[in-house]
Structure 1
Amino acid sequence: MIESMLARTEYIDDVSRSPLSLYDPPHLSSLIYCSLCYSGQVGLGRTSHMVCSHRWLLDYNKHRCRHNRHWEQDRKPPSLARFSYLHMKYLFFSWLAVFVGSWVVYVEYSSYSELCRGHECKNSICDKYRKGVIDGSACSSLCEKDTLYLGKCLSAKPNNQVYSGGWGDLEGVIKCQMEEIPHYNLGAEMEHRKEASPFNKPTKGTSVEKFKEMVLSHLKTKVGEQANLPDLVSLVFSVADYNKDGLISLPESRSMWALLQLNEFLLAIVLQDREHTPRLLGFCGDLFVIEKVPNAPLYGISLPWVVELWIPAGVRRSMDQWFTPSWPRKAKISIGLLELVEDVFHGTYGSFLMCDVSADGFGYNDRHDLKVMDTRHIVPEATFQKAMRERRCDMEEDCLYGADCRTSCDLTKHRCTPEVTQPNLAKACGALKDYLLNGAPSDIQEELEKQLYSCIALKGSAEQMEMEHSLILNNLKTLLWKKISHTKDS
């Protein structure tokens, strides 16, 4: 009996093209009702089978409609489901963005608080100045008059504090050492070692003549044996005597001795009469102030590190060349770099090596004269050679200082050789190649490219090929000057 009803149900469902499940709740209740009808256990048992079947169909349809209505109410429409999914996705990515952003802010703040400790530097310097330990041309302005102030933090290392700032009407860059004095030891990439106090020499009771001997011995170690070293000592004493009274006090001498340990300050004194080195404005202890370079770096733009990660190296180099002056002005700036190479190669007080010739280390003023911004990696050749002789090596990569000063490794002795494999001029030409060739006039493009590649190919120390070195340098300068000499940019 039930099987016949199921057959009829399936037939009806086939007609409606909506097959039913035997496990659908309204279907089951209707089947039970019909079976009771046929068995006579309900009041309709005396009716015909057709009446019962008809009643069953009506009852079934009523239950199915009611059930479907509740089912549709319980089930979410597809658009609502999609909205919930998108909503959850939005919440997840919002949370992720907040988390990553908070982490970046924390890292940047931690880095900033570690790198930028100018207030600590100022407090330390001024405390020693008030106690009479140190003195200098910038001490009164920094600690008493407050006319020398620290502005934007530019530090790249915690122990070398760098700030832009102002001194009256002058704009400058303030550099201060924190906790450690960088002693020139190339054996471990400008190793730093702590001293009990950077201002403990000369000691009380040291005569001026004794202090001169100390300075002479120190400079001989730095720049090597030079015939005119006494002149360099006199230059150092003229800078130390900031009030020009002809006397060097103990606080002044302590400040100068601490500053002479810094290669950057030594180079500022050696090249202070050259136009491509920022002027030394003043000092106090181991803090010193130099002239600010208004346009820096030499070319390119500074981008956030997050953006840098997604830019290919080739695209980055092309972008750097977009943000440069006109070609005649680039030529004048390039001539300045070539003149700087001349200044540091067999200069008045010895030879220096340029160990990081990158755009970040140079800038230019409003007249487009090149200025050195970072002289920490322009090192005395004598000191470099002495340190390299003592450096142990197992491969060529062990004999590298900075980015550009490389020597070879003597594998029989496992020691680095003292002579650099590439002179300053070759490194300068490598930095200028793309800078000069991009936008160069067509009538000198080929000759300029030829001379630049000849320059880059220079090998060995400049002493070994002094004639070729001078010839290439003069040819490049002449080619550039001839092209821009008739323009206002010259």
Structure 2
Amino acid sequence: MAKSLFPRAWVKKSFFFQARISFVRVKYLFLTWLTVLVGSWVLYLQYTAYTELCRGHECKNAICDKYRRGIIDGSACASLCDKETLYLGRCLSTLTNNQVYTGGWGEQSGIIRCNLGKVVHYELGEEPEPRREALMFDKPTRGTSVEKFKEMVFNHLKFKLGEHTNLATLVSQILSVADGNKDGRVSLQEARSMWALLQMDEVLLGLLLQDRGHTPRLLGFCGDLYMTERVPYGPLYGFSLPWPLVSWVPGGLQRTMDQWFTPSWPHKVKISMGLLELVEDVFHGTYGSFLICDFAAAHFGYTDRHELRLTDARVLVPEDEFRRNVRVLKCESDADCVYGADCRTSCDPLERRCREEPVQPNLAKACGALKDYLLRGAPPGMREELERQLYACMALRGHAGQMNMEHSLILNNLKALLWRQISHTKDS
């Protein structure tokens, strides 16, 4: 009797074993199917977001259509539309109407930017309206003389930058850039392209600073599409997550990862010196004072020689423009008086209006951005002094008495301290 029980027990055990294997197979098959489904859905969402965000072909078609119809012209038009030696590469856009791409033009590599204007979405079944002619290329009008165009540019600069004795020199510099084919004259089509570019603050302010080496050089333009030098390393910390991952990585972890990918300390010093020189040049500079309203690392990069470049000039605001904009802001508290990302003023409780004077100057915010960047890896012998000077710099206030003298003293002391660390190296 005992012998007959063994096969039965074995069969029963075998049955359960096979059933368990079948269950595990079904489980893993289900998990595999679920993974493929979710992965496909994520890829689909990323693809649709990419196609919605990246519309370089629309930009090129719109610009080349206007070029061929004789509305606009510029130094890059023939290469973009006829010879096709200027091409759009990888999409870097973060806004639908502001198209940004890597690009190539012969042996030069750069960044190409193009504004699409307002992007209109249509429901399924609706007929889209015919694309309206962009109004940005309606000035100057036919028959406008070069002298009249100079006057237009001069008045525009005066409104943007304020009254300065050397605006006429800047006008001549802009007209030289506008002459795309270098034939000694600015055609109506070239004037329209340059006028459209001047309406974009990042182009105008970039032109102001490129002679000092603070911004990438303008390589060419066609209408409001333009190409600048490519800054090989950016952001400031040398690491940038791919855009699909940015929203998934916590901010604290991203800041830690930023520090992992910084250059060597002497190279960080040279980059920091470039930022301090930028701050110095926009503080009571040739064309007035400017505020830097966002010191995020993403807006700065550096070259192979570790020279700093401001890669997004939109963070610069002329002081006159800043005052015009904040004086009309109503407020209940200081928290209501913020312009851009971090240009703050205080609230006047009696008038319930924002005051015009910024709370922090550029230098204080620059030192705040450089604190962790410079202190990490600093030589032990100078770390304490560097930390003391950085904190003194961060304590600067825009409304403090004799701020100009204090500003200059702190800036010079900090630059001297850093310069001593690299003056004997090849980075100097």
Normalising by structure 2, we get a TM-score of: 0.89
Kept in 2: contact 1:121–1:178 (CA 8 A): yes
Listed as ranges, the gaps of 5+ residues in structure 1 are 1-62, 182-193
The whole-number CA distance in structure 2 between the counterparts of 1:462 and 1:217 is 34
Structure 1 residues 395 and 110: CA distance shift in structure 2, 3 A: farther
Which stretch of structure 1 is more off in the superposition, 472-481 or 218-227?
218-227
Alignment of 1:165-176 (within 5 A): 165-176=103-114
Aligned position for 1:255: 193
Over the matched positions of the two proteins, sequence identity in percent amounts to: 64
Aligned to 2:261: 323
Offset at residue 248 of structure 1 (A): 2.0
Aligned-pair CA distance for 1:433: 0.8
Name the SS for the 2:377 alignment partner: coil
SS at match of 2:88: strand
Which amino acid letter does the alignment assign opposite residue 302 of structure 2?
Y
Secondary structure of the residue aligned to 1:157 is coil
CA–CA distance in structure 1, aligned partners of residues 245 and 81 of structure 2: 41
8 Å Cα contact 2:359/2:398 also seen in 1: yes
The SS at the match of 1:174 is: strand
Contact 2:326 2:339 in 1 (8 A): no
Q: Is 1:370 the counterpart of 2:370 in the alignment?
A: no
What residue is the counterpart of 2:364 in the other structure? 426
Q: What amino acid does structure 2 have at the position aligned with 1:274?
A: R
Matched, 1:101 2:57: no
In 2, Cα distance between the equivalents of 1:311 and 1:196? 39
- Report SS of the residue matched to 2:262: coil
Q: Residue 152 of structure 1 contacts residue 165 of structure 1 at CA under 8 Å; is this kept in 2?
A: yes
Deviations 1:11-47 (A, max 9, x none): xxxxxxxxxxxxxxxxxxxxxxxxxxxxxxxxxxxxx
Name the counterpart of 1:414.
352
Structure 1 residues 132 and 421, CA, compared in 2 at 3 Å: closer, same or farther? Answer: same
User: How large is the Cα RMSD of the aligned pairs?
Assistant: 2.7
Describe the superposition over 1:138-183 as per-residue Cα deviations: whole angstroms up to 9, x where unpaired.
11111111111111111111111111111111111111111249xx
**Given the superposition, is the C-alpha separation of residues 85 and 438 from structure 1 closer, same or farther in structure 2, using an over 3 Å criterion?**
same
**Partners in 1 of 2:191 and 2:240 — Cα distance?**
40
Once residues 400 and 92 of structure 2 are traced to their aligned partners in structure 1, the CA distance between those partners, rounded to angstroms, is 34
SS, match of residue 226 in structure 2:
strand
Counterpart AA for 1:269:
L
1:33 matched to which residue of 2?
none
Q: Is contact 1:429–1:452 with CA below 8 Å preserved after alignment? A: yes
CA contact (8 A) 1:423 1:462 kept: no
- The answer (yes or no) to whether the contact 2:345–2:358 under 8 Å persists in 1 is yes
**Residue identity opposite 1:256 in structure 2:** M
Q: What's the CA shift for 1:349?
A: 1.2
Question: Do 1:388 and 1:399's aligned partners in 2 also have CA atoms closer than 8 Å?
Answer: yes
Shift, 1:207, TM fit: 2.2
SS in 1 for 2:135: coil
Question: In the alignment, residue 176 of structure 1 is paired with which amino acid?
Answer: C
What TM-score, normalized by structure 1, do the two folds share? 0.79
Whichever of the two has the greater Rg, that structure is 1
Structure 2 residue 400 is matched with structure 1 residue 436: no
Secondary structure, counterpart of 2:72 in structure 1:
coil
State the AA in 2 paired with 1:404. Answer: D
- Which region of structure 1 is more displaced relative to structure 2, 85-94 or 443-452? 85-94
Residue identity opposite 1:359 in structure 2: A
Q: In the alignment, which residue of structure 2 is the partner of 1:401?
A: 339
Aligned residues: 416
Deviation at 1:74, TM superposition (A): 7.7
Distance 2:58 2:33 in 1: 38
Paired letter, 1:275: G
Q: With a CA cutoff of 8 Å and minimum separation of 6, indicate the structure with the bigger relative contact order.
A: 2
- Rounded Cα–Cα distance in structure 2 between residues aligned with 1:155 and 1:289: 14
Q: 1:455 is aligned with what amino acid?
A: C
Q: For 1:202-253, what per-residue CA distance to the aligned partner results, in whole angstroms no more than 9, with x for missing partners?
A: 1112222222222222112211222222222222212112333332211111
- Kindly provide the CA deviation profile for residues 422-470 of structure 1, in whole angstroms up to 9, marking residues without a partner as x: 1111111111111111111111110001111111111125996111111
Candidates 298, 319, 326, aligned match of 1:388: 326
Establish whether residue 472 from structure 1 lines up as the match of residue 400 from structure 2.
Answer: no
Unaligned stretches of 5+ residues in structure 2 = 120-131
The answer as to whether partners of 1:298 and 1:364 remain within 8 angstroms in 2 is yes
